[in-house]
A and B are shown apart, each in its own frame.
Chain A
Amino acid sequence: MLRFFGMRLAQLAVVVLAVTLLFYWMLNLLPGNPCVAAFGGAATQEQIAECEEDRNLNDPVIVQWAKWGGDVLTGDFGKSYLTGRTFGEAINNALPRTLLLLAYSQFLALGAAIPLGLWSGYRQNSAGDKMVSGGAFALLASPVFVVGLVLILIFAVKLDWFDLSGYEPISEGLVAHFKVMFLPSVTLAAGLLPVYLRLLRTDVIGTLQEDFVGTARAKGLPVRHVLLRHVLRPSSFTLLTIFGIQAAQAVNGAIVVEFLFDLDGVGSLLVSWVAAREYLLVQTLVALIAAVFVTVTTMVDLLYSVLDPRIRRK
């Protein structure tokens, strides 16, 4: 078991190193001096020299990358030479918004997909199942920004139930917080829901054929109990796998949703840095996102082996 964990952690380290090195190398292909660009073209010789010194631009790429890695590991993420704001300040402000958005939308998506998936699998080919499956199919074909625009039009413009005024932290009161977070979360959840739903439904249809389901029913257990306790459990693996894959999908969606609802989260930060040509910050952020994702995927893999010891022996 320990050896297995060790192997996975070593793999994780190699992948993170490779991905960040790749991005470092790619940015190095850019024409021009990133330090000149970082000041927006209006910098003195000394400022540029200081920035070059700071970013180790006079070293070979691999040394630059190693020093960058050392800085990041010791908590120095760099700063914007244009505004003087540090990476840490910007992230501290943005990260909670994005994490909350992701958490709410996953909660909504799973909360809706589990009962709907169980039920439409159980009532396969009924009128209700056809409606649910058709709806999921339609959602699958709806880009996040189209869903978001339609929700804004109905609930914020016509009905005026929700605000479109940027972000309110929880400390401003739960009502104010959810007034701005509800629509973005639903929008993002609408993209995640059909994938969970379709997979769970397929799984449920398969599991319902198993003997243990018949036994449970024959014992006289109520349908609800059988579905929740006996049919849902074997599907936890499918849900876990897809949760890992969907995490990446969710971040794609979050970038668009934050832009659409002016949330100023990590995605908006990335987009604004890209637009302002703050390459040095973009680089650090992209590398960190990559590192977080590879870690999440590895965690999911590790969780498997905890849930099912057979995987460890493969």
Chain B
Amino acid sequence: MTDTASTVITVSQPEVAPRRRRHNVALWMSVAWLVLVIASAVLAPWLGFLDDPHKPLAGPPEEGPSWSNWFGTDQLGRDMFARSVWGGRLSLSIAGPAVGIGIVVGGVLGVLAGYFGKWIDLAVSSVVNIALALPALVFALFIVTVLGQSYMNVTIAVTILSIPAIARIARAQALRFAAREFVTVAHMMGARWPRLLFREVLPNVVPALASIAFLAMGIVIIAEGSLSFIGISVGSPSITWGNILAAGRGRIEQSPHIALITGGVMFVTLMALNFVGDEMLRRLDVREARI
């Protein structure tokens, strides 16, 4: 048996190999970029070569990239590289917890709805469908206004917004696996619902949720970026990618590098998140993930 299996693999390999490898390069580049961004965000206060992002005249004002200021400087001469790193630190420190909590809460709601069906499903599905049909940014604005502009409140707002989309995917996954033979067999063997839910269904939903986490991370970063771009996020001395871009918009004629480089960093980060998430979904064969 094992012999035939290995021969089949060796025979088919030459055809598949080149495509796979190319894919892997892009995948590993994405992972490397994400590790770089996350590491610099986490370690920002301890990185010796990084300027103080609030210090004016770290270089001549409104200069393009140079050796001393890799990403150039803004109109006050603050170092844009340091500001990008610190901006990423705040944006990621909002997106990380938001997605973490969103996955747990949305995952639980979705799995319960998908597994138990009936009124639980009806309740969860109707709330989720309504929430998904409403413009999220309007409600994020509303929540942040009501609660006040602080790190905590922005995180709460984007967390609430991430829950329905995650719940919807978790529900679809749970539905799909709850109907599978191995669950029926376990049921026939006398397993009760806690075992069926936690030992049979849940382990199959978790990998999908893990890959959704990458995509959700991208969506939350864009949501927080939009909020801070229009000036309704964490207060002004704090640096986020969104408010660097808002400032760069005002100086787009004189120093386009401010908006372009920060926008580029954001774009590459989002590309990497989407790429890793998509690739994981493809390997796990998850459908209904993309809205």
A146 to B252, CA, bound (A): 12
For A143, the chain B residues whose CB sits under 8 A away are 222, 225-226, 263, 266-267, 270
The segment from A51-59, A77-85, A148-156, A216-224 found at the interface with B is A148-156
A199 to B222, CA, bound (A): 21
A137 at the interface (CB under 8 A from B): yes
Q: Knowing A150-B260, A248-B134, say if A274 contacts B290 (CB, 8 Å).
A: no
A297 at the interface (CB under 8 A from B): yes
- Taking a contact as CB atoms under 8 Å apart, the answer to whether B270 and A157 are in contact is no
The segment from B8-16, B58-66, B97-105, B141-149 found at the interface with A is B141-149
12 A-B interface contacts by CB (under 8 A): A19-B134, A143-B222, A145-B225, A146-B266, A149-B245, A149-B259, A150-B260, A256-B137, A271-B141, A286-B142, A289-B138, A294-B133
Given pairs A245-B132, A275-B231, A296-B133, 6 additional interface contacts (CB within 8 A):
A141-B274, A145-B263, A255-B135, A286-B139, A293-B133, A293-B134
9 closest Cβ pairs, A-B complex: A251-B135, A141-B270, A146-B263, A252-B137, A297-B133, A141-B271, A248-B135, A149-B259, A143-B222
Q: B145's contact among A149, A259, A282, by CB below 8 Å, is which?
A: A282
Q: B230's contact among A19, A256, A286, by CB below 8 Å, is which?
A: A256
Specify the main secondary structure of chain A where it touches its partner.
Answer: helix
Interface positions of B from 122 to 136, Cβ below 8 Å from A:
129-130, 132-136
Give min CB distance, A225 to chain B, whole Å.
30
- Taking a contact as CB atoms under 8 Å apart, the answer to whether A149 and B263 are in contact is yes
For B139, the chain A residues whose CB sits under 8 A away are 286
**Cβ contacts A287-314/B at 8 Å (1 or 0 each):** 0011001101100000000000000000
A209 to B135, CA, bound (A): 36
B253 at the interface (CB under 8 A from A): yes
Nearest B residue to A29 via CB reads B146
**Cβ contacts A126-160/B at 8 Å (1 or 0 each):** 00000000000110111111100110110001000
How many of chain B's residues have a CB under 8 angstroms from any CB in A?
A: 42
Give min CB distance, B201 to chain A, whole Å.
25
B207 at the interface (CB under 8 A from A): no
- Taking a contact as CB atoms under 8 Å apart, the answer to whether A252 and B271 are in contact is no
Name B's A-contacting residues (CB within 8 A).
129-130, 132-139, 141-142, 145-146, 218, 222, 225-226, 229-232, 242, 245-246, 248-249, 252-253, 256, 259-260, 263, 266-267, 270-271, 273-275, 290-291
Give min CB distance, B109 to chain A, whole Å.
18
Q: Knowing A19-B130, A157-B253, A293-B135, say if A145 contacts B229 (CB, 8 Å).
A: yes
A260 at the interface (CB under 8 A from B): yes
Nearest B residue to A191 via CB reads B222
A178 at the interface (CB under 8 A from B): no
A248 to B145, CA, bound (A): 20
Q: Knowing A248-B132, A248-B133, A255-B137, say if A145 contacts B267 (CB, 8 Å).
A: no
A198 at the interface (CB under 8 A from B): yes
A176 at the interface (CB under 8 A from B): no
A271 to B273, CA, bound (A): 29
